[in-house]
Amino acid sequence: MKTLITLNINGDAREIYIDARRSLLDILRDELALMGAHRGCDSGDCGACTVIVNGQPVTSCMMLAADWNGAEILTVEGMAKDGQLHPIQRALVEKGGIQCGFCTPGFVMNIKALLDENPKPTEAEARAWLAGNLCRCTGYAKIIEAVMSVAEESA
Ligand code: FES
Ligand code: FES
C-alpha cells in the first residue's frame, strides 16, 4: 500500500506516493532522481547518504521517508546556486579534499550542518563532528583543511 507524503526538497514541494517501508535515501534516489546522496553501506556507518532534514544532518539510509511528511530537506543538489559552487564545495575542490568523490556529497552536507551550528569550529571539533563520514581516499587532512578555510572566510 502506498502513502502520500509531501517533502519540501531544496525549496520545492514534492508530493509523492511512497511505499511506507522505503528509506528516505530510496525515495530521493529511486523516485525523485536525486542521485547526490550516495548509497555506501546502507546501514548508517559511512555517512555517504547524509542530507539535512529540518536543519539536522541525517543518514538518509536509516530513515523511513514516511516519517518525514512535511519535512524540509536539503540535499547536495540544492547547494550550488546560479551555477556557482557553494563555498564548502569550492573549498573541498581547492584544498584537494575530493578524490574519487563518492563520499563528497555526504561530507558537504555534514560540513554545512557543522558550520550552521558552529561557524568557527576548532579542528578537533570539526574532526569529531565529521567522524561518521568515511573517506577511503583523502586521509581526511585536506577535508578538514577545507572546513577550516570556509570557517576562516566567514570570519
Ligand atoms: S549509506 Fe547511509 S550511512 Fe552509509
Ligand atoms: S574521495 Fe573517495 S571516498 Fe572520499
The amino acid present at 13, given as its one-letter code, is A
Q: 91 and 70, same structural domain?
A: no
Instruction: Report whether 99 contacts 111 (CB < 8 A).
Output: no
152: Cβ below 6 Å to ligand 1?
no
The protein residue whose alpha carbon is closest to atom 2 in ligand 2 is 100
Q: How many domains does the chain have?
A: 2
pLDDT surpasses 80 at 155: no
Domain that holds residue 137: 87-153
The protein residue whose alpha carbon is closest to atom 4 in ligand 2 is 135
Biggest alpha carbon–alpha carbon distance for the chain: 51
CA dist list (Å): 138 to 54, 67, 90, 94, 153: 30, 35, 16, 13, 23
pLDDT of residue 152: 94
pLDDT of residue 33: 97
Q: 97 and 66, same structural domain?
A: no
27-53 mean pLDDT = 98
Atom of ligand 1 nearest to the CA of 47: 3
Smallest CA-to-CA distance from 1 within 25, 18, 22, 16 is with 18
Q: Which residues of 53-64 are buried (b: 16+ CB within 10 A; e: fewer)?
A: beeebbbbbebe
Mean pLDDT across the chain: 97
Q: Which three cell numbers stand for residue 51?
A: 542530507
CATH number for 130: 1.10.150.120
Residue ending a domain, among 78, 101, 120, is 78
Backbone angles phi, psi at 150, to 5 degrees: -65, -40
- Place 107 in a pLDDT band, splitting at 50, 70 and 90: very high
pLDDT of residue 1: 81
For 84-98, the pLDDT digits (tens) are 999 999 999 999 999
* pTM passes above 0.85: yes
128: Cβ below 6 Å to ligand 2?
no
Q: 7 and 73, same structural domain?
A: yes
Residue ending a domain, among 41, 61, 78, is 78
pLDDT of residue 25: 98
Other CB atoms within a 10 A radius of the CB of residue 96 amount to 13
Residue ending a domain, among 23, 46, 78, is 78
- Percentage above 70 pLDDT, the chain: 99
CATH number for 41: 3.10.20.30
Q: 127 and 97, same structural domain?
A: yes
Out of 28, 59, 76, mutate this one to test ligand 1's pocket (max ligand atoms within 8 Å of CB): namely 59
For 113-128, the pLDDT digits (tens) are 999 999 999 999 999 9
